[in-house]
Amino acid sequence: MSDAKSTILKAASELFLEGGTSALSVRAISKRAGVSTIGIYSHFKGKQGILDELYIEGFEKVFSAMDILKSAKGPRETILQGVKGYLEVADKYEAHYRLIFGESDAGYSPSEEARAVSEKAFKMLIDVSSLILPEDTSLAKKQHIALEIWAFVHGYVSLKHHAISTLISPEEWNTLALNALSTHIDAIIAKHA
């Protein structure tokens, strides 16, 4: 990546972490990066291009959180560790997470390249969650189980972000999510044994 390109991306990432999408105007990025506004369009495909990079950046963080396939503690604990990592990434990079799930910019929709990265992440999730299934399980079934786990974890993260109800303390959320997932994974194991 060229110098100017990485400088722009760094500035955008900083602004993004500081104030989310609302702080991410083309003029603000170019000002902080020390380039002209037109630079955003020559080095990236406008704001869409910037958001794509941040989208991919976000998924790569999720990637690394789930990259714990080779655990000695057995499939159940490996998955729960992956869930824990996911929850932590979602907390630490909340802005990225919101962008990925469309919670921050109505106009944005990921490019083909960005979509490809997200599918790669889903495939990794399938690998991890397949650990609790018999080896001869069909791919469709594996996808369904992976989706099941993902939906559950993401549901907790999403509800937490939007804080519809303030009845539950922020610290408790991740514990509740882990307990619920633990119960559900046991149910899946029992069902498909």
Partner DNA sequence: CATTGCACATAACAGTGTTATAGTTAATCA
Partner DNA sequence: TGATTAACTATAACACTGTTATGTGCAATG
Cβ 103 to a second copy shortest distance, Å? 5
Query: Binding to a second copy (CB under 8 A): which residues in 83-112?
Result: 98, 100-107
Binding flag, residue 150, a second copy (CB under 8 A): yes
User: Exposure string (b/e) for 31-65, b if CB count within 10 Å is 16 or more?
Assistant: eebebeeebbeebbeebebbbbbbbbbbbebbeeb
Contact flag: residue 189 with a second copy (CB under 8 A) = no
The DSSP secondary-structure symbol of 102 reads: T
How far apart are alpha carbons 31 and 36 in whole angstroms? 7
77 in contact with a second copy (CB under 8 A): no
Tokens representing residue 176 in the block: 């509740």
Of these, 9, 13, 15, 47, which contacts DNA (CB under 7 A)? 47
Name 128's Cβ contacts closer than 8 Å, sequence gap at least 6. 66, 69, 78, 79, 82, 146
Q: Which of residues 117-146 bind a second copy (CB under 8 A)?
A: 118-119, 121-122, 143-144
Q: Which residues in this chain contact a second copy in the complex, by CB under 8 A? A: 20-22, 98, 100-107, 115, 118-119, 121-122, 143-144, 147-148, 150-156, 158-159, 161-162, 164-165, 167-168, 176-177, 180, 183-184, 186-188, 191
